[in-house]
Structure 1
Amino acid sequence: MKLKVFLNVCMLSFLIGNAQKQPNIVLLFADDISARELPIYGSTVWSPPKGGTTSDVKYKAKTPTLDKIAEEGCYVKTAWAATVCGPSRAMMMTGRYAHLHKWWHNKDKGKAPNGKGVWDLYDSSPHSIAHVAKAGGYATFWAGKTQMSIEGFPFDEGCFTPGEGSYNTAIHTTDFRLETRKKAGKKVIYNADTNKPIHKKSYVQSGWYWQPHVQLMNHPDTKEKFVWWPNDKKSEKEFGLNTFGPDVELEFTFDFIERKAKEGKPFFVYHTSHLGHDAWDFLHPNNEGKWPGTPKINWDGKKYTRTKPKVTGDNGVYNDYGTITENGIHTHINYLDYQVWQYLNKFKELGIENNTVFIFCADNGTSGYGKSSPVSQKGTHVPLIIYAPGMNLTKKGAQNVLANISDLIPTIADLGGVTIPDSYEMNGESLMPFLTTNKPKHRDWVYGYHKETTIIRGNLVMKDGNNVWYDVSKYPKDLISFPKIKDWSKVSEAHRKERDELKKVIPRFDQHATAHDAPKGGYGKVAPLKTK
């Protein structure tokens, strides 16, 4: 009770003096980025352009803005997601684990209650991130990657670079897509731009980086709910090889933020950037690197400048005149840092910097290293930074605690004054008590999943998806090479006690074999969200 009272006092002190009741919230959810890729996590290794592991400093990301907000705000040393994007996004969108939403892996999803098709997240979990934000009075915007049915999420507006889902329709503005065609009776993947079969292994996809597929939802200048962009003479004239998808997303996001700030209405932005995700490099189709280059940027110690891209050519032969970076995930992280800098400048320009909470995290481990890996915490360990300059946080800098991306819905609920009913199972726990009081720990364990396997860790021990146990009482230099526990008599009694406690937790969520699909009647009616 005392903790709740203290938390309410802290929240009240944050909100007093602001015209609106709730703080604005921006959640930037990056794609396929392990914690080790960000310098703040102190890893001695990171990913080179072709994937794998390197200690070559030329491939180490440079993140002055993320470093700054991590130190002035705080960052969690051990934040976990699931091992791959679909289940992790399901966890983020629902605040729940796979035993409830049934997204066990990208290609392993439970059937809906009628036995047909995948169970949509907004049906399995009606108190989704969008529903909670709307209940808190927020105007809501979703930008970037979707990777799921979106019709049932009540976001007000959106700007999507769907990528994986747009190849069924040939968008007239761009032929940057890989598509399946039949050749001699067999399915072959072609590059629509070159009109030739691709030379290396890939999957059907539509470009989301250069000359991207872009779809708008409920934009105020359009009558239809969904329209492909560019959709007018001005944007069609400007669109082309120099158009970079992440820039387009941010442009429409800022347009939304500016309109809502002018209206004095609190906003929630859910920005699911593709940056960090590997992709087919349409500008360099013979390149063996995993991550296409970005526009070049430069940090002079105080500010960023961006080189305007210049690209010419066609049919797979292009010249970028040195305006685009080399391949590599480090260039994507650098560009994310530039976009975070742009966000902070926009908040300051609109006078809302002290009434906006900014959260940065990612969905799973890096491609070619941790993505879809159940080993140690390779697939689950992601960055988590929370920056709230107008809030008197009691925690600053590195926090040696455990957190889970399922925790973000309850955190948003607390910020927006929303009460999630006790009868509705929410696996996340709000970070607000930890962030705004003297509470020393956030949670006792974190959980992840990979198909039929479970991954769980506490402060002392961890079990990975291969049922290997580790001593995690100290962090190794590469953030994953923890000592394996082969003889439990050689660790402390506290280690053994925590192991036994974690073993008791696992059966609650380990339901892949016994409850893989949705129950026939669903979960029935749920109690509504309430505002405080």
Structure 2
Amino acid sequence: MKTFSLFASASVVLLACSVLPSPSATAAETNEAGRPNVIVIMSDDQGVGDYGFMGNPLIRTPSLDEMRTQSGYLSRFYVSNVCAPTRASLMTGRYNYRTRCIDTYVGRAMMDPDEVTLAERLSEAGYQTGIFGKWHLGDNYPMRPMDQGFDESLIHRGGGIGQPSDPIGAEGKYTDPTLFHNGDEVATEGYCTDIFFDAAIDFARKQTEAGKPFFGYIATNAPHGPFDDVPHELYEEYKQVDFTPILVNDLPAKRHSAEFDKLARISAMITNIDQNVGKLFTSLDKLGIRENTIVLYLNDNGPNSRRYVGNMRGNKTQVDDGGIRSPLLFHWPAKIDASDTTGVMLAHIDLMPTLLDACGVAVPESPA
């Protein structure tokens, strides 16, 4: 299989593989060399323009703005135009059509279980692996994350909370949602995004205390709809905002109220994610592992409304750049200089081989 690494392709991004152990090294030898931890954060339906550092004047993302100043930055990074295909490509390093995950509904979001995932390869190499949030590549054996390489999973089913895959009696609950922990239905307390980040932080703490490298995949279902259950205090703040500057279409005055309310709810969900990113970095500092932990942040497709996407056009489901672009922040203080940026065209399929490369793990052969 021909592999591609962000490190090798972008001249301004450090060739970390040259200073890491070879893929043939034993687990013990590699552990002694200090393998990096890996955390991938991907939001759901947050668009390319929903960040302060991307020029959005209204949606507050101070933690991500700070992460941008401390991270490598890939400015021409592409994803799919809807979420499940992006997730399949991220997990396998392959175009989603090869994985049989071609859309988001009617059975088209079920990834072939023969695919080899990033979690499987890292697990085989001695990493502890955990997913927290949205999987959307199959809800039943043998397609669940626990069947595809994840040691720990705390997820919702289907494409999001508030969809037909919700457990009966728990439909649409972003607050105190019913989730699935390692396959078992569990009642939880709190807001879903907070729950996922808290579980990921606890996972990181346990692995650090045990002296084990880990891979954490935090895939929020926010700011995907429905929008009726959002962080209350942030929503109350955003209700006071005039969102006219980030509207793409001129709307008649009678539609402003409904559109502004929707944007206030979406903005509250995004700022809540940002607050959790800040909490995550604080936790990495307290654990003393930030220096050698790779943290990636991206969104899975374009925005879920027609709103600001910088100098692009398009939104979710569309293949204009506004529907298929994401900034990619690549934070790894031990190896990546914060001034490293690249405009080289790269995509979700490049993340798996790049991360395996950084961790000194061989890239698997592709299925036929």
- The secondary structure found in structure 1 opposite 2:209 is helix
Matched with 1:236 is none
1:364 Cα deviation from its structure 2 partner:
0.2
What's the offset of the Cα at 1:63?
1.9
Q: Return the letter of the residue paired with 1:148.
A: L
Look up the equivalent residue of 2:152 and give its one-letter code.
Answer: E
1:86 to 63, 84, 87: 84
The answer to whether the aligner puts 1:25 opposite 2:38 as a matched pair is yes
What is the Cα deviation at residue 158 of structure 1? Answer: 1.2
Contact preservation (8 Å) 2:52, 2:62? no
Match of 1:156 among 139, 151, 155: 151
Q: What displacement does 1:93 show?
A: 1.8
Partner of 2:135: 146
Query: Is residue 2:121 matched to residue 1:132?
Result: yes
Question: Residue in 1 aligned with 2:254?
Answer: none
- Matching residue of 2:248: none
User: Any conservation in 1 of the 2:17–2:358 contact (CA below 8 Å)?
Assistant: no
C-alpha contact (below 8 Å) 1:361/1:382 kept by paired residues: yes
Letter in 2 for 1:129: L
Percent identity of equivalent pairs? 23
What does residue 437 of structure 1 align with? none
1:132–1:409 CA contact under 8 A, matched in 2: no
Query: Are the counterparts in 2 of residues 142 and 271 from structure 1 also a CA contact under 8 Å?
Result: yes
1:152-200 CA-partner distances (Å, limit 9, x unpaired): 21200111133256746325xxx4x2xxxxxxxxxxxxxxxxxxxxxxx
User: In structure 2, do the counterparts of structure 1 residues 6 and 76 end up closer, same or farther at CA, with 3 Å as the change threshold?
Assistant: closer
1:342 deviates by 0.7
- Distance (whole Å) between structure 1 residues aligned to residue 91 and residue 344 of structure 2: 23
CA distance in 1, matches of 2:334, 2:233: 32
Contact 2:92 2:352 in 1 (8 A): yes
The structure with higher relative contact order (CA 8 Å, sep 6+) is: 2
CA RMSD after TM alignment: 3.0
Distance 2:163 2:209 in 1: 34
Give the equivalent residue in structure 2 for 1:275. Answer: 222
The CA deviation string for residues 307-360 of structure 1, in whole angstroms up to 9 with x for no partner, is: xxxxxxxxxxxxxxxxxx983322222222211111111111111111211100
Q: Deviations over 1:378-410 (max 9, x none)?
A: 21011210111122x256254322221111111
**Is the aligned partner of 1:265 residue 2:212?**
yes
- Native 8 Å contact 2:48 2:322 kept in 1: no
- 1:73 counterpart residue number: 71
Q: Tell me which of 167, 170, 178 is aligned to 1:213.
A: 178
SS in 2 for 1:401: coil
Q: How many angstroms apart in 1 are the aligned matches of 2:305 and 2:149?
A: 35
* Local SS of the residue matching 2:154: strand
Q: Is the 8 A contact 1:18 1:355 kept in 2?
A: no
Report the residue type matching 2:363 in the other structure. Answer: I
Letter of the structure 2 residue corresponding to residue 424 of structure 1: S
The residue aligned with 1:350 is 287
1:226 and 2:226 matched: no
Rg bigger for which structure? 1
Where do 1:96-495 residues align within 5 Å? 96-107=94-105, 120-123=111-114, 125=115, 127-149=116-138, 150=144, 151-162=146-157, 163=161, 167=165, 169-171=167-169, 175=170, 177=171, 206-207=172-173, 209-217=174-182, 225-230=183-188, 239=189, 243-282=190-229, 292-296=230-234, 327-369=264-306, 370-374=315-319, 376-391=320-335, 393=336, 396=339, 398-421=341-364, 423-424=365-366
Query: Relative to 1, partners in 2 of residues 1:228 and 1:166: Cα closer, same or farther, differing over 3 Å?
Result: farther
C-alpha change, 1:251 and 1:410, in structure 2 (3 Å) is same
What is the CA-CA distance between 1:106 and the residue it aligns to?
Answer: 1.9
C-alpha distance in 2 between matches for 1:245 and 1:258? 20
Q: Does the 8 Å contact 1:20/1:266 carry over to 2? A: no
Aligned equivalents of 1:164 and 1:140: distance in 2? 27
Q: Structure 2 length as normaliser, TM-score?
A: 0.75
Tell me, in whole angstroms, the C-alpha distance in 2 between the residues paired with 1:6 and 1:166: 45
Q: Assess if the C-alpha contact under 8 Å between 1:293 and 1:327 holds in 2.
A: no
Provide the rounded CA distance (Å) in 2 between the counterparts of 1:412 and 1:226. Answer: 30
Offset at residue 17 of structure 1 (A)? 12
Q: Deviations over 1:467-517 (max 9, x none)?
A: xxxxxxxxxxxxxxxxxxxxxxxxxxxxxxxxxxxxxxxxxxxxxxxxxxx
CA gap 1:71/1:31 in 2 versus in 1, 3 angstroms: same
Flag the 1:330–1:34 CA change in 2: closer, same or farther, 3 A.
Answer: same
For the 8 Å contact 1:144–1:272, the answer to whether it is kept is yes
- What is the TM-score when the length of structure 1 is the normalising length? 0.53
Alignment partners' CA distance in 2, 1:249 and 1:168: 17
Residues 1:63 and 1:10: Cα distance change in structure 2 (over 3 Å): farther
Q: Matches of 1:159 and 1:84 in 2, distance apart?
A: 22
Could you tell me how far 1:96 is from its partner in structure 2? 1.0
Q: 1:424 to 1:269 in 2, by over 3 A?
A: same
Give the Cα separation in 2 of the matches to 1:350 and 1:270. Answer: 18
Q: 2: distance between equivalents of 1:6 and 1:101? A: 29
The CA distance in 2 between the partners of 1:414 and 1:22, in whole Å, is 11
Report if the CA contact (8 A) 1:136-1:416 is conserved: no
Instruction: Give 2:256's aligned residue.
Output: none
Structure 2 unmatched ranges of 5 or more: 1-7, 22-28, 139-143, 236-261, 307-314
Give me the whole-angstrom Cα distance separating, in 2, the residues matched to 1:333 and 1:105: 24
Distance in 2, Cα, partners of 1:227 & 1:104? 28
Q: Tell me, what secondary structure is at the counterpart of 1:379?
A: helix
